[in-house]
Amino acid sequence: MWRRWLYLICFGLLIGHGLANDTTPPMHVIAVADVINPVSAEYITESLKTAMQQSAQALIIELDTPGGLDKSMRLIIKEMLNSPLPVIVYVAPSGSRAASAGTFITLAAHVAAMAPGTNIGAAHPVAVGSGDMGKEMAEKVTNDAAAYIKSIAEQRGRNVEWAEKAVRESISASETEALQHKLIDLIAVDLTDLLKQLNGRRVATISGERTLHTAGAPLQRVEMSARQRLLSMLADPNVAYMLLMLGAAGLFFEISTPGVVLPGVIGGISLLLGLYALQLLPVNYAGLALIVLAIILFIAEVKVTSYGALTIGGIVAMILGSLMLFEAPAPLPGVSLWVVVPSTLLVAAFFIFLVGAALRTLAQRPYSGREGLIRQAGVALTPIDPKQGKVFVAGERWDAHSEELIEQGSAVEVVQMDGMTLLVKKKAR
């Protein structure tokens, strides 16, 4: 009898354990391996809202970033600090970094973790898109960033002194140094190890303390939406630059040769996408002005005899403008020189060839119609005086008159057409 009860008890425990695992809320996981920009900020904030709506235990952010835009970073941190759901920032995989804006985001997490072979720090603010800051402005920006990171570190109970040095002195730390300096809470080899170490950890959120039950908790990956992936692609300076160049070339081709349609459609779409991308990137308008100047110089080269000077000037202006267009200090990505140089040469060749061909076409003498008769050669069929005569021109007999006397059989040339009568002159031999 006692064996039967023992079996029933064991069976009940197994079922209870299975039900407990089935009802354990999932851990949502997202991966941010890019510059912190409006797209990544939207991805993180939307993922956090989704995790709360689907009653997830927490949101894990796998982070690998060289830094990014201050406005986007502050938007992310604002959502994290006011989130009732625990946010875990995990700098991973090995070889990743949480530099600059990534340092702020990691310190703002409810739980901060790093994988072996990662680093954090170098959070000194830099000028993006508007050239070098003046000494006074640089000091103001640095003081503001230092106060912000100190506030975050204090709220999360992290090393305030080191956090301030990361801003003022651009210091960095490996994962072991970060743990020693109390910048992070743990080092985890992978997500499985992370969940193991998080199990039973108490996390203070804005809505109160929560205890994480991560042993056996399912992981649910949340990917970027199709819209966010498109915007992320447009936020690449190289893609944005090529869209602008393609848009300008396509529209110019359509304007110069109306009726082709397809180049205009492609150019219009490309230009609009390129202009939208400018909103996602730090733009230097001096660089944009140089690109416009380069296009003007390419067009002027066809109309003005400069012996190549305008073309050279246009190429130099295009290259300089392209490199300045998205001015982003290292380690943030800018426009690659391997994209700028070929694009500049192609655009220069396109404008010079296309505009030159159009002007040559306009300069050609018409071959048909009234205008086509001008300067045509013919023969006087009768004597021609200032009042009347007959000529044979372009395979037809015409009434003609002349300002001089022309003998029958003489070679003539059409000077002008008055109604249906030709004004001719003797053709020079």
293 phi and psi, to 5 degrees?
-60, -40
- C-alpha 206/C-alpha 193 separation (Å) is 27
Compute the half-sphere exposure of residue 95: CA atoms within 13 Å on the CB side of its CA: 1
Instruction: Put the strands of the sheet holding 119-121 in their side by side order.
Output: 97-99, 119-121, 172-174
Options 40, 47, 100, 270, the catalytic residue: 100
Tokens of 35: 């510059």
393: part of which helix (H) or strand (E)? strand 390-393
Beta-carbon contacts of residue 208 (< 8 Å; ≥ 6 apart): none
Q: Is residue 94 annotated as a catalytic residue, yes or no?
A: no
112: part of which helix (H) or strand (E)? strand 111-114
Options 71, 140, 196, 303, the catalytic residue: 140
- C-alpha 6/C-alpha 4 separation (Å) is 5
Q: Is residue 140 annotated as a catalytic residue, yes or no?
A: yes
- C-alpha 246/C-alpha 326 separation (Å) is 17
Tokens of 387: 């009042």
Beta-carbon contacts of residue 42 (< 8 Å; ≥ 6 apart): 228, 231
Q: Which residues are catalytic?
A: 100, 140
